[in-house]
Amino acid sequence: MATFQYRAVKSDGSPVLGQVEGVDLRAAASNLRRSGVRPVELIPARSNEQKARVRHKSKDRQAAATTIGELAVLLQAGLQLDRALALAMENVEDPKVAVHLGQILRDVREGAPLSRAMAQKSELFSPAAVAMAEAGEANGRLGEALSRLAGTMEQEAELRRLVVSSMIYPIALLIIAVGVVLLMLLMVVPQFESMLSNTTQKLPTATVAVMAASRLLRHYGLALLITLGVGAFGIMAALRQPGVRLARDRLLLAMPQLGELIRRTETARFARTLGALIEGEVALPVALSLARRTISNQVLGRAIERVADGVREGGGLTAPLAASGVLPRLAIGFFRTGEETSQLGMMLTSLADVLDRDIRTRLERLIGILTPAITVVLGTTVAGIIASIMSAILGFNDLALTS
């Protein structure tokens, strides 16, 4: 049974995106027609490996976001789509992105809608971005839709840069700490080992432990490295299993500080995408399904998926989200207010802005905890190694003085 991504039209003319299963393309199309929608486009869904490669195209998507922003300004200035796209492409520096955008321009000049051309370039545009563009084409406000899309893509890139740049210093400090300890065990301790091993005096337990660790690294270091590599490969292979990945995500959410940071980061990304889709007049069930794809944590994603299924069947939004307990309490208040005032899109955008500020504060707090913790562990470990060697040497001196 294969999975296909589809773009279809309901009986009332409204667009719908999603996935459908079938033995082949024809069977998948038949399943869609039986569900009451008319398929417009049906393509094989990407495999997990292909999706992983797409997720690593953040720089390409950032360049695409800049181009979309310029395209929105040109369209709002009254230029035709093909002319505006050609002008926006002139400022693209990345040759790979320029090639992709050139193919989109070719498709547009051949008569294809911009959203369909964007859908063929998943390296640059997510399904939510395609849906936003399609909604702008449907209501005749493509420039506004693209401007909103560019803002969403830039905010997502900014949040990603914030998280990555904030973790650089703790990771670098951790690498330095491991390097210093290895240097002590591989270079410094062996200088004293021959002298300490030849003595008949009983060595302190700490000294024996440090010397044993040094010998273990020197004699079996390569085997340990290979074992660690095989173990890491095995963990990565296990994480491809849905059950293992779900357990990992549940464990991460339960961790102090880090769990709440992950929860708020995922919620901010989800809220910003959903808000942009709703403001672009994408139907709520479709918008929920598309925005759910921006969530990488399986626990949160499954909860949102259940809520989306309920909304698709005519249920509410805020009450099921509150009952799931996966979103921060702050987010539920914004959802409820937006739903009651019919300003859900605006309230979700505001929620994303509030969460972005909170994420910055929590990152600073987390780094403030990690940095001294790593420093203290490093200092304690090095001091312990030095003290274990010095205690043995001082024991020799005391023995010599007493004799």
pLDDT by residue (tens digit) across 170-212? 888 888 888 888 888 888 888 877 776 666 567 778 888 888 8
Which regions of 228-273 does DSSP assign to beta strands (E)?
none
Note the Cα 282 to chain centre separation in Å: 24
Angle at 52 between CA 56 and CA 3, to 5 degrees: 140
Q: Provide the pLDDT for residue 381.
A: 85
What pLDDT digit, counting tens, does each position of 54-76 carry?
A: 444 567 777 788 888 888 888 88
Cβ within 8 Å of residue 294, ≥6 positions away: 126, 128, 156, 269, 270, 273
pLDDT at residue 399, rounded to an integer: 46
Residue 334 pLDDT: 92
Distance CA 384, CA 337 (A): 57
Which residue positions in the chain have pLDDT lower than 50?
47-56, 399-401, 403
- C-alpha Rg value of the chain to the nearest Å: 28
